[in-house]
Amino acid sequence: MTTLTAPRASGRSSVPTFRSRATIGAKHSAPGALSLVAMIVIFVIAVANQPGILSVYGLTLMLTAAVPLLLAAQAQMLIMSVGDIDLGIGQLVGLVTVIAATMLTTDPLLGVLALLAIVGAYALLGLLVQKRNVPSIIATLGMSFVWLGLGLQLLPTPGGQTPEWLAQLSAWRPDWIPAPVVWIVAITLVAWFLAKRTRFGTRMRALGSSSPTLSRAGWSLSRTRVLTYAAAAVLAVLAGLVLASQTQSGDVNSAGNYTLMTIAAVILGGGNFKGGQSFPVGTAFGVVTLSLITVLLGLINLSSSLQSAAQGLIVLAVLAGRVITERFVR
């Protein structure tokens, strides 16, 4: 027998079968597992082309760019978990690099206030989406032009200089383990705890999957969305600071590709556009996979004009595998 079902006094059974539990678990873990498999395959191919990657130095070079992208992707994951999507996160991260290379250097207090203002603006953006039913795509796309304009006003051309303490952040290089691995694990654990082990994470997923149920439970829909947007803004600000620490300069267009990259990473990691789900670990796998694809295409000396097309084809292949896998375990 494959069931633990025991009859209650009413004659109805409420304990799910082993098979149903296994099916649910497989369905939830399949997308992230597929992303992990893709990451391992691409890593093996990259190592076969360049064995030096296996060194601490090689892994550091290969994964450094993944750290700010991961922070931005986890921010996108929070937004997508409530059923929204952020089309301005790339320009926002770029604006933060500009603030880091200008205000944080010349007037640190003003720079910190500017970063806090960004978080506040995102909270108001979440309130606007909730109260006025403004589509998040429209609201965040409109804000992307605001972030771009502010960045160009502060720093019309790439340049500036980040503070010394911020530059030292990227200079940390332990001898025994690649620094990016430490950051990736730490960021993923924090995002996992926030999304999976807190009451806020539960409300956030409930808002994306069944907002009427959340409302009947006595929780404020507006407060939940506002806090989600604010938390996403904090992660986006951290992404910009880390990126600025790596480049040691500011450029509002330095993260222009982050918008699509973060969406792809969340989808690769098991997320969807409907909301109600959050996969911090899967998102991390997706980010590393995308970073490895970029490195691999460089190692095989593929023409720069074809790299974007090749990257897109690989991502589509992984997503096709996800669709097949989900149907198989359904």
pLDDT digits (tens, 9 = 90+) for 28-46: 555 567 778 888 888 888 8
Decide if 160 contacts 101 (C-beta within 8 A): yes
pLDDT tens, 257-284? 899 899 989 988 888 888 888 899 999 9
> Looking at the domain assignment, is residue 11 inside a domain?
no
Question: Number of C-alpha atoms within 13 angstroms, CB side, residue 160?
Answer: 31
> Looking at the domain assignment, is residue 112 inside a domain?
yes
> Looking at the domain assignment, is residue 140 inside a domain?
yes
Q: What CATH number corresponds to the domain at position 65? A: 1.10.3470
Reported as a pLDDT band with limits 50, 70 and 90, residue 309 is confident
Reported as a pLDDT band with limits 50, 70 and 90, residue 8 is very low
What does each C-alpha distance from 295 to 40, 42, 48 come to in angstroms? 14, 10, 13
> Looking at the domain assignment, is residue 26 inside a domain?
no
Q: How far apart are CA 43 and CA 117, in angstroms?
A: 40
- Tell me what the mean pLDDT of segment 314-330 comes to: 69
Place of tokens 């098991």: 270
> Looking at the domain assignment, is residue 116 inside a domain?
yes
Reported as a pLDDT band with limits 50, 70 and 90, residue 13 is very low
What's residue 294's pLDDT? Answer: 82
> Looking at the domain assignment, is residue 21 inside a domain?
no
What's residue 259's pLDDT? Answer: 93
> Looking at the domain assignment, is residue 10 inside a domain?
no
Q: How far apart are CA 287 and CA 306, in angstroms?
A: 21
Q: Could you tell me the residue range of the domain that residue 284 belongs to?
A: 33-329
Evaluate if pTM is beyond 0.85: yes
> Looking at the domain assignment, is residue 4 inside a domain?
no
pLDDT tens, 83-142? 999 999 999 999 999 999 999 999 999 999 999 999 999 999 999 999 999 999 999 999
The answer for 119, left when phi > 0, alpha when psi is -120 to 50, beta otherwise, is alpha
Q: Is the pLDDT of residue 218 over 70?
A: yes
What is the count of structural domains for the chain? 1
Q: Token pair of 266, please?
A: 């969340």
Q: Is the pLDDT of residue 2 over 50?
A: no
